[in-house]
Amino acid sequence: MPAISDDSASEADRMLAALVPRLRGTCAVDLAFAGPRDSGSTESITIRHLAGHLGHSLRHLRVQAGQGLGGKSLVLGRPVVAHDYFNARHIEHSYDHAVAPERIHAALAVPVRLHDTIIGVCYLAHRRNVTFGDRLVASATALVRRLERDLAVEYEVRRALRARAEADARDARLLGELREELEAVIALVTEPQARSRLRALSAGLREITDGGADPAGSPVRQETLSARELDVLRLVAKGASNNDIATALVLTPNTVKAYLRSVTRKLGATNRTHAVALARGNRLIE
């Protein structure tokens, strides 16, 4: 399995934390838990998030590929069910000592993917003699697939923002080099009118590379905000919540959060309210 970035791993961990209680409630199971892939590892996950647990025997349990129910799901890349967990012969039983205190009878493990890479495993379990039927497996898998779509969107937003930031940095660097060259040329010009015109040109380049400034002196450049970021910021200015913005712009709430993080970073804002104030002060929005 290929490596995943720290940002993607962190986002996956955060989303898994929110997914676990939803899995338990929607699928009406006794216990749900999940773990992201370990940083720097392609062969293990660590269980970090639980809902409905009796104790903490499963928390921080490291599951190796091929071992236990989740380890088999990690290797096969598909859901794996154990209807009678402790008597199941199709799985390896390295983690029975951690499973036993939870009195699990039947369990299901579902891998979580980002593109073609497995980045975590979700588990559902019953303490009663209940069978995981096709409908329940399909329901759990559908929730995981929704999480995967959100992760993919978040990944693409991060990738696009990173590419834009790199392009902006390259443009600013090139303009800065041009301005330095222009200043060197100005030093050689003695004719007053030509020197004045070159000075004005240099000042214009400085405005582009350095940007305007807010009252506190923080540089703000309108060109660094994309059209979509401005759309999000305008709705924030109207008092819309992240969910309202997501609905209005046909985005996921996680994508809205990603745009807001980018906006506050670019404007040098401390929060969304500060971002709106800076944007209005620099006439980026009404």
The reply to whether 124 and 255 lie within a common domain is no
For residue 275, the model assigns a pLDDT of 87
Structure confidence at residue 123 (pLDDT): 96
Number of domains composing the chain: 2
Among 103, 125, 154, residue at a domain's last position: 154
Cβ count near 162 (within 10 Å): 13
pTM: 0.58
CA gap 74, 66 in Å, rounded: 7
What is the tens place of the pLDDT at every residue in 110-158? 999 888 888 899 999 999 988 888 888 999 999 888 888 887 787 777 7
Q: CA 90 to CA 87: how far, in whole Å? A: 9
Residue 201 lies in a domain: no
Contact assessment for residue 221 and residue 212, using Cβ atoms and an 8 Å cutoff: yes
Identify whether 187 is part of a domain: no
| 148 and 10 in a common domain | yes
Quote the strand ranges of 131-273, DSSP E: 212-213, 219-220
Cβ-Cβ contacts under 8 Å for 98 (sequence gap 6 or more): 57, 58, 61
Single-letter code of the amino acid located at 188: L
- The domain of 49 spans 6-154
Do 176 and 40 form a contact (C-beta atoms < 8 A)?
A: no
Q: Which residues contact 31 (CB under 8 A, 6 or more apart)?
A: 24, 50, 51, 52, 53, 102, 104, 123, 124, 125, 126, 127
Q: CATH number for the domain including 281? A: 1.10.10.10
> What single letter denotes the amino acid at residue 44?
S
Last residue of a domain, one of 154, 178, 196: 154
Contact between 65 and 43 under an 8 Å Cβ cutoff? The reply is: yes
Q: Determine which helix (DSSP H) or strand (DSSP E) holds 28, and give its type and residue range.
A: none
Would 207 be classed as within a structural domain?
no
Name the average pLDDT for the chain.
83
- Residue 5's pLDDT is 61
The pLDDT tens digits along the chain (286 residues) read 445 566 667 777 888 888 899 899 999 999 999 999 887 777 899 999 999 999 999 999 999 999 999 999 999 999 999 999 999 999 999 999 999 999 999 999 999 988 888 889 999 999 998 888 888 899 999 988 888 888 778 777 777 777 888 887 787 778 777 777 777 777 777 777 777 777 777 777 676 666 544 434 444 444 468 888 889 999 999 889 999 998 888 888 888 888 888 888 888 888 888 888 888 878 888 7
Answer yes or no: is 183 within a domain: no
Give the end of a domain, one of 154, 174, 206.
Answer: 154
- Within a domain: residue 128? yes
8 Å CB contact between 38 and 62:
yes
Residue 180 lies in a domain: no
Cα(34)–Cα(59) distance, integer angstroms? 9
Domain assignment present for residue 139? The answer is: yes
Q: CATH no. for residue 98?
A: 3.30.450.40
pLDDT at 215: 39
Which SS3 state, helix, strand or coil, does residue 89 take? coil
